[in-house]
Amino acid sequence: MADTVVRKHIIFYGRVQDVGFRYFSVYKARLLGLAGWVKNLDDGSVEMEVQGKEAEIDTLIQFLDGHRWIRIDAMDVENIAVIPDHDFVER
């Protein structure tokens, strides 16, 4: 089932604003062929919906967590319905 497309709603907590999180999310997600969006929330967290193969989504999260300016302390992750979506954008 590694080729199954999934969509996840994720809230990231930690040092995730004012560190390029959205920029690097869009950059890497597009390289990986993922779809969805990312945006800052008023409480200092970042919200993301990401769609694609599970392995590519994991690669995106590992890339972000490994970035020297970003620190992910916690994530709330929920599987949601896949929708017709073909690009990854910043909101």
- As a whole number of angstroms, the distance between CA 5 and CA 57 comes to 10
Residue identified by tokens 């969509």 is: 7
What confidence score (pLDDT) does residue 32 get? 98
75 closest CA partner among 61, 85, 55: 61
Q: In the chain, where are the structural domains located?
A: 16-78+85-89
List the helix and strand counts (H, then E) for the chain: 2, 5
pTM above 0.85, yes or no: yes
What confidence score (pLDDT) does residue 3 get? 83
- In tens, the pLDDT along 56-83 reads 999 999 999 999 999 999 999 999 999 9
- Report, as an integer, the average pLDDT of 82-87: 94
Instruction: Give me the active site residues, please.
Output: 22, 40
**For the domain 16-78+85-89, what is the CATH code?**
3.30.70.100
